Structure 1
Amino acid sequence: MTTDSEAAIALKNEGNVAIAAKNWEKAIECYNKAIELDPTKAVFYSNRALAHTRLESHGFSIADASKSIELDPTYIKAYYRRATSNLSLARYAEALKDFRTVCKMAPNDQDARLKMQECEKMVKKINFLKAIEVGEPASAAEGLDLASMAVESDYDGVKLGDEMTLEFIECMIERFKNGKKLPKKYVYQIVLKAKEIFGSEPTMPEVKIADTQKMTVCGDTHGQYFDLLEIFNRNGYPTEEHMYLFNGDFVDRGSWSTEIALLLFAYKWLYPRNFFLNRGNHETDDMNRVYGFEGECKAKYNERTFKLFSEAFSALPLATLIGDKYLVLHGGLFSDDKITLDDIRNYDRSKQRQPGQEGLMMEMLWTDPQNLPGRSPSKRGVGMMFGPDVTKRFCERNGLEAIIRSHEVRMGGYDVEHDGKCITVFSAPNYVDTSGNKGAYINIGPDYKLQHNVFDAVPHPDIKPMAYAQSPLSSMMM
């Protein structure tokens, strides 16, 4: 007769097979059952932590790794996995502590030693920046004389004057497809103009769809430039009659993040009242340092380019209200039922450049839905999770049909949850070249009915995700 302990080991082994096949959900299911039968084995929690990490559920991963360490303080993999999840959340000091423990236990582990050294550099850098902080930092645009700046002599594209043109955008699209860059002068012009326009918009723009118009809502694109072009090729390029809203996370992970950001910013300049961008949790400095956008800006242009983008990201609206029916925001809802649309309207985002670990901005960028009622700690380790009852109350109180959010991979490209009142749309198919998911976008006409559209990833040049990441995470990709 099989004992509970033997059955648990068999389930663990089944979970390991699922891990090898990159079936993270199946792996978690197996480890859950193993833990129910035998909750005393450190390896069960540590392996489940790995699966949670792959699903970006870093809060769950940290909890599992910590439980594994509690059961067996000598279990090296648990320290490594907790360090990895803390690193993913830009918690460098916590990650460094665990990487040091790994290196002490396994002094010949060169991978862990490299990650420890990189974490040490990041901690020193952050401490240095804090030490020299005096009031509001000067803008990266200070001392930038665009009028006298020359365009590089080898640039053979359309010239950009004082106004954005469709001809310039079409040329830019082709240049980016062919691996070419823009002159720095034009990059600065586009980013500074976009920042100016964002700064003139409210925290929550309110959009009506006229009889001759339609609106397309897109989710995360994450530097997957060729998949972005697939959306435009399938669905139509932006015009004054065909409005677009990109719901955050334009950058990071994918290795064409500057191309996406510049293209979206150029469209914002061309159609300021018909093209909209919301801020995501990856339009933030901490995430950009970890997941590649900062490194990409420096590699393709320079450090000033990243700083200008950072300032523009901090000016982005946090939500968009479509036809008084749909609130579109990157993450989700709030820890307090009393929050209303008026709180979003009245929120002064200019006083807080980065979202931090609490407050309205953080929750709008980071929270996620759950199936259970009520609220729970976040699987990510930042923000929280909200149930269908929370969504129902928010929609009823604010006269909404639904919220539309992004922030999470959905294997089918989109998901309709919470009795139809919470819709997730994710527009990066085959996310980080490994997930196998569909991408999706939502079309909304003058009748405000939602039409969900699904598409597959398209081929791209052989440049891997996170190619420009300057952190240990670049070697941790799935």
Structure 2
Amino acid sequence: MTSASTEALELKAKGNAAIASRDWKTAVDFYTQAIELDPNQALFYSNRAQAHIRMEAYGSAIEDAAKAIEIDPASVKAYYRRAISNVALLKYKEALKDFRTVCKKAPNDKDARLKMNECEKLIRKIDFLKAIEQSDPPSAAEGLDLDSIVVENEYDGVRLEKEMTQEFIDDMIERFKNGKTIHKKYAYQIILKAKEIFYAEPTMPEVTIPDGNKMTICGDTHGQYFDLLEIFRRNGFPAETHAYLFNGDFVDRGSWSTEIAFLLFSYKWLFPNNFYINRGNHETDDMNRVYGFEGECKAKYNERMFKLFSEAFSALPLATLVGSKYLVLHGGLFSDDKVNLDDIRKLNRHLKKQPGQEGLMMEMLWTDPQPDPGRRPSKRGVGQQFGPDVTKSFCERNGLEAIIRSHEVRMGGYEVEHDGRCITVFSAPNYVDTSGNKGAYINVGSDYKLEHNVFDAVEHPPIKAMAYAQNSLMSM
């Protein structure tokens, strides 16, 4: 064995140790160094694919798994990891091929067989839905007569009449903390009213912060209800003088997504001009089917509730312009340098309810920054990455100080990149109960200076993340 091969194995061992300590980025770095020294070891690529999966860099994981298979066609782990990555990208037919290969090569692998069967069922379901799909299906609210729904005398919560009240929200917060739901009549009311408000808003609301007021910008909360309450406990609840902006991905993965959605929607009803919600890539039907929100709606309420939420999600604005200084959007910037704020203003989001695989809406929900200049395909496998030169040009052309985005875990809760022009904020600490990251939120005063705040995850009831996913496909 050469000295280079020996050193490469040592680096692989360090990568494995980083994986064990959940330091995915360091693991990628060690495996990369090992590959540079010895590029013909399938295990190095397969292990790096695992680290990429943990970082949700599914496109990179697929590339590494494919390289591992090229070197060693018998690498069962590589087929498995490529399958998992394709599931995450909603490419179920590609995933099914690899699951079948795993089951053929490792017939006693019960987990792979379970995932293969789940993948087959999901493909049949999607094909069925496509077969019966209507070009303009009726709203799930059609035939829903709220006045005829009786709230039973034994319901022990505060009643909701024609207008949202702080009393109802306070009671709802406690109900959710105690594992209770709200009555389905009130749930329907909240979604329908929020959808009405969202629909009337522009694609990019433009807000100012009056003297003496402040706004808090939060990133992904991903169904982590108790961590959301920790933000409010530390930072203050929404009020007439304290606006909040939630920058997408408030559902999926975490197992209290309905609780977060109802709470945010209720605050939107109470403070329609002082509480803002942008759409994220997880406020979409295809993601909700895999990552738990659809299953949670059905488990806690019913299928109609999910369909109503879907309609409300499709009405959400795609960005918010704060003080003409900060563009806040979930993903990031565009593949075309000609795109400007007026293009966002003119975008009719109501024509296309789901973002698809291309176009401005998809890019606003999916893109990520990169340290290198220029653009390249995203490590996620969807969308693209943009460099500091792209951000600088966009900000200068549009008179912005920075863009504020979310969409990616940051171990410190937030990160300032691209010479201060690109800020990522992520508000789900210890993401999916495994990542060990901090959470963060940003306060903005009337002087439009940014104050970054970091916080730790708090305890929650013993319900695991992804508990309501309809299948086992994303469990590792």
Query: TM class, shorter-chain normalised?
Result: over 0.9
The CA deviation at 1:402 is 0.4
CA distance in structure 1 between the aligned counterparts of 2:360 and 2:152, rounded to whole angstroms: 43
8 Å contact 1:323–1:448 — kept in the other structure?
yes
| Conserved 8 A contact 2:88-2:474 | no
List aligned pairs for 1:33-72, cutoff 5 A.
Answer: 33-72=33-72
Task: Kindly state the Cα deviation for residue 355 of structure 1 after the two structures are TM-superposed.
Answer: 0.7
Corresponding position: 1:368 with 2:364: no
Query: C-alpha offsets along residues 267-300 of structure 1, whole Å, 9 cap, x if unaligned?
Result: 0001101100000011011111111111100000
Look up the match of 1:79.
Answer: 79
Counterpart residue number, 2:185: 185
SS at match of 1:290: helix
Query: Residues of 2 paired with 1:92 and 1:10: CA distance?
Result: 36
5 Å matches for 1:298-337? 298-337=298-337
1:282 aligns with 2:299: no
What's the TM-score, normalizing by structure 2? Answer: 0.98
- How far, CA to CA, are the matches of 1:398 and 1:209 in structure 2? 20
Three-state SS of the structure 2 residue aligned to 1:255 is: coil
1:2 Cα deviation (Å)?
A: 4.5
Deviation per CA, 1:128-180, whole angstroms, max 9, x where unpaired? 00011121111111111111111244311110011111110011011001111
1:44 and 1:229 mapped to 2: Cα distance?
Answer: 42
Deviations, residues 387-435 of structure 1 (Å, cap 9, x unaligned): 0000000000000000000011111111111000001111111111111
In the TM superposition, residue 474 of structure 1 has moved relative to its aligned partner by: 4.9
Offset, 1:16: 1.7
Matched position secondary structure for 2:187: helix
Mind listing any 5+ residue stretches in structure 1 that lack a counterpart?
none
User: Paired residue for 2:145?
Assistant: 145
Distance 1:257 1:353 in 2: 21
What residue is the counterpart of 2:440 in the other structure?
440
Shift of 1:34: 1.1
> What TM-score results when the alignment is normalised by the length of structure 1?
0.98
Task: Tell me if the contact between 2:87 and 2:474 (Cα under 8 Å) persists in the aligned partners.
Answer: no
**Superposed displacement of residue 9, structure 1:** 2.1
Residue 194 (structure 1) aligns with: 194
| Post-superposition offset of 1:40 | 1.1
CA distance in 1: counterparts of 2:436 and 2:19, whole angstroms: 15
Structure 1 Cα separation of the partners of residues 219 and 126 of structure 2: 31
Amino acid at match of 2:369: P
Q: Percent identity?
A: 76
- Partner residue, 2:106: 106
Give aligned pairs, total: 476
CA distance, structure 1, for counterparts of residue 265 and residue 148 of structure 2:
23
Give the secondary structure class of the aligned counterpart of 1:473: coil
How many Å separate the matches in 2 of 1:265 and 1:202?
17
| Counterpart residue type for residue 200 of structure 1 | A
Determine the C-alpha separation between the residues in 2 that align with 1:245 and 1:23: 30
Give the SS at the match of 2:415.
strand
Distance 1:309 1:187 in 2: 10
**Letter of the 1:454 counterpart:** V
> In 1, are the aligned partners of 2:118 and 2:473 still within 8 Å (CA)?
no
CA distance, structure 1, for counterparts of residue 22 and residue 459 of structure 2: 21
Report what 1:210 is aligned to. Answer: 210
- Matches of 2:113 and 2:154 in 1, distance apart? 43
For 1:452 and 1:20, the matched residues in 2 are separated by 30
Following superposition, the deviation at residue 75 of structure 1 comes to: 1.1
Find out whether 1:97 has 2:97 as its counterpart.
yes
Matches within 5 A, 1:222-241: 222-241=222-241
Per-residue displacement from partner, 1:62-94 (whole Å, max 9, x unpaired)?
Answer: 110011111122211111000001111221111
> 2:471 matched to which residue of 1?
471
TM-aligned CA deviation for residue 246 of structure 1:
0.3
Q: Which runs of 4+ in 1 moved over 6 A?
A: none
- CA-atom RMSD in angstroms: 1.1
